[in-house]
Chains A and B, each alone.
Chain A
Amino acid sequence: MTQRPRHLVNDSLELTDEALPETTVDLELSATRIQERHGEAAGARYRHFIGRAVAAAPDADRDDLLTLAALAAWRSGAPAFRTDALRRLDLALAAGRTGLPALAAALGLGEGGVAPFAALQLNSRFGWPGLHAPGELLAVIGGFRGLYGPWLAPPVAALPGDRPGSFLIRTGSAATAEDWLLTVDVFGHTLVRLATDEQGNVDAAADARWSAAGDTAQGLAETGAAGAVLTVRAYTAQLWTPEKSP
């Protein structure tokens, strides 16, 4: 079966596509920003989550709206918003400012799931209520370009990156080898091709590192413990929770 890129947290989502309400901030603009950076599917998820969140907080002021937008953006699959979203979530939960129903809606959780989710995220960016059994599939990444993926050749090796949630992936071999930087969390990922040496020369140290790399890489969690495991197979990379939960 052809594996398509996906994050498991989105598997059971049923997206609504309603017009975004008029607020003191331009929600249409924010949806456009997400769509530009992460594609139509992420844009649709953002519209779904922010639409529901704002509906649950009709009296939200600008700061509340920014909190909901950051959470919805992160939840829609934009990892770059994670830090700001978590900071805002902590503040909102501590101050009881933004209503819990709105925060839950922005994250696609039930009201009772927001605090446990925030606690899980303290330890790992892959934390999600009900998705922490050891060896559980978190996401499928990559794919063959002919089937809307980014890669022309299958991934052959993976290395942990130097930051939490980052991995290096090599696709192809010899002259066709390409290196990719994956930044990933439970909701989404970015995959960027790294610039190649102009002459096609391979840096000896990097080459040795790649030669030693296998088809599995253990990533870092926020606290330095194992965060997730990346394996490569066929035309995709798969992200798993560690065999032994941190």
Chain B
Amino acid sequence: MALGNRWNKVSESPTRANAATLAEELTAEDLFTEAPAVVDTALDEKLRQAYFWLVNRAVISPFYDVEFSTGSPVTFELGDAGAELHLPTDQSYSSNVLLPLLTFAVGGKCLLVGGPGRGKTTLAILMGVLAGSSAREVRRNVQQGQPQVTVSDLVGMPLPRDLVTAGSLAEIEIAWRGWLSQPVKIIDEYNRIPTKTQSALLTMVAEGYVESHDQMHSTAPESGVESWFFTANDDAGGGTFPVIQALRDRMDVTVAAQGFNNRFFDELVARVEAGERPEDHLPPELIFDAEEQRLLEAAIRAVPLPGAVRRQLEFFASHFEFVQQGGRRFEYRTKDTVRTGGGEVAEVIEANSGADLQVDLGSQTSNSLSVRSLQTLIRYAKAMAYFRGRPVVGLDDLAAVLPFALRGKLLPNELHPRFDVGADRELATDSISWLADLFTESRRQFTALGLGGNDPISDALDLFNQGLDAVSSAEAAQRLTGIESLISGIAKQGKLYGRHFDDLLALKYLHQRYTNYVSWLGFSG
């Protein structure tokens, strides 16, 4: 067998077993029919086949850190420092391959971090090849971050002829760089790019266009779905130039490239001997054409997020905005008030002696979640569910992507006792484990508070959302009393946590709407 043929092995369908895969009735003819060709498979199946090709053939990544289990996985305690090895019972995945692939599917932005030589750029190039470009073309279009790179280097330059003859900026034609309209855009070592050039990059990433000499150019490819891959060997603010916060915030997911497992040396030797690179051998049936990319993105967007899962996400996000002594008026008692006012969030949290820091999840972070982060989280949770062939987003899908979507966005409060002393100190640097733990604890609190079955504030919002038509003045007054009763109930608890902040503001909102309605009824007679 020619050595090159080993690349052509694509996982046979179905890559994920479920009840639907075992047909109830088959005939003899089915025994002599080839398995459906990859081109005929559904896009989620094709995406999984691409994943398994990447993880088994292209990048040697025998890591299964995105774990899924039904029931309890077998767990081993290892060493004397609390290490645990889980053996998941359901199909589990390698984050450093899966998250970039989901980024490709949703048209997102992925930051790959890790030391040199860990396959970050190779993985990004493979995503470009998946989108239909040749490996050579993708490699040529990789933008190398280095201290001398200018805005013109990135976007292109005006034609010299026009610079001489043009009477106005509008007459200047720009020779835009070819990489700008590629479906997969790769910026290598983005933390080595000068600050001014980073700002130009931000416009492209955030707005989807570039501007030069009063001319604009859209970066959207034919499919309308563009994904960005950035690499950096540091995620803690290091690098030749500090990454501007707005650009860092645009990274939808951050994934660490894993080290090489030396038990897989034979594959490494084979590659050295053959002089081969995986991106040159992607099986053509795994390539997503422009129409498939568009359909894939639309299909992911359409995966429903059930109300029960959404409620858990709402509850999780509610922990982080509120800080007891962040302001005077209730609405301004937020971390953002402290931060924008030049204060230190960690110190304000530490000054709050009323709440139990062990229970108050909000005290573990120095900031709150942005709307953009939450949108990203929803999008990737949908992508995860789609990738797993699930009809709706599950809590396990959400839990799987949450640490990667919030890494670098939800920041640890380093003065919190958890990071300062005790058994959890390593979580200050292992943000993926910390964020996963934070969500697990939030789910535990949600269950302990019985919010899945009894949530009077959700009930009050639902009641209001049914509309006010035919609601009498007496009925509205009764609802107002009910709202005041709910607020009173929270007030009686004494301690105040982040979850109460959103609830109280929602109740205030309802109170205001009903008050206005009652006034209007009185006015209109």
Chain A residues within 8 Å of B, Cβ to Cβ: 25-26, 29-30, 33-34, 36-37, 66-67, 69-70, 73, 78, 80-81, 83-85, 88, 145, 152-153, 172, 176, 178, 181, 183, 190, 192-196, 198-199, 201
Contact = CB atoms under 8 A, between A and B. Distances in A.
Contact of B28 (A81, A178, A181): A81
Interface string B12-35: 100000110011111111111011
B34 A29 contact: yes
A83 B26 CA distance: 8
15 contacts: A26-B32, A29-B32, A33-B30, A69-B31, A73-B26, A80-B25, A84-B27, A145-B89, A172-B71, A176-B72, A178-B71, A190-B22, A193-B70, A198-B308, A198-B392
A85 B29 CA distance: 11
Given A29-B34, A36-B12, A69-B28, A199 B72 contact: no
Interface string B61-104: 00000000011101000000000000001000000000000000
* Central interface residue in A69, A85, A198, A201, by most chain B CB within 10 Å: A198
Contacts of A199: 308-309, 395, 452
A36 B22 CA distance: 11
A128 B126 CA distance: 56
Given A176-B72, A192-B19, A198-B394, A80 B31 contact: no
A81 B23 CA distance: 10
Nearest to B385: A198
Contact of B22 (A30, A34, A70, A192): A192
Contacts, number: 80
B28 A66 contact: yes
A204 to B, nearest CB: 13
B306 interface: yes
A178 B72 CA distance: 11
B14 to A, nearest CB: 10
A30 B32 CA distance: 5
A152 B71 contact: yes
* Central interface residue in B28, B32, B392, B394, by most chain A CB within 10 Å: B28
Given A81-B31, A152-B74, A178-B71, 18 more contacts: A33-B31, A66-B28, A67-B28, A78-B26, A80-B22, A80-B24, A81-B26, A81-B28, A85-B28, A152-B89, A172-B71, A176-B72, A190-B22, A192-B18, A192-B22, A198-B394, A199-B308, A199-B452
A222 to B, nearest CB: 14
A66 B309 CA distance: 49
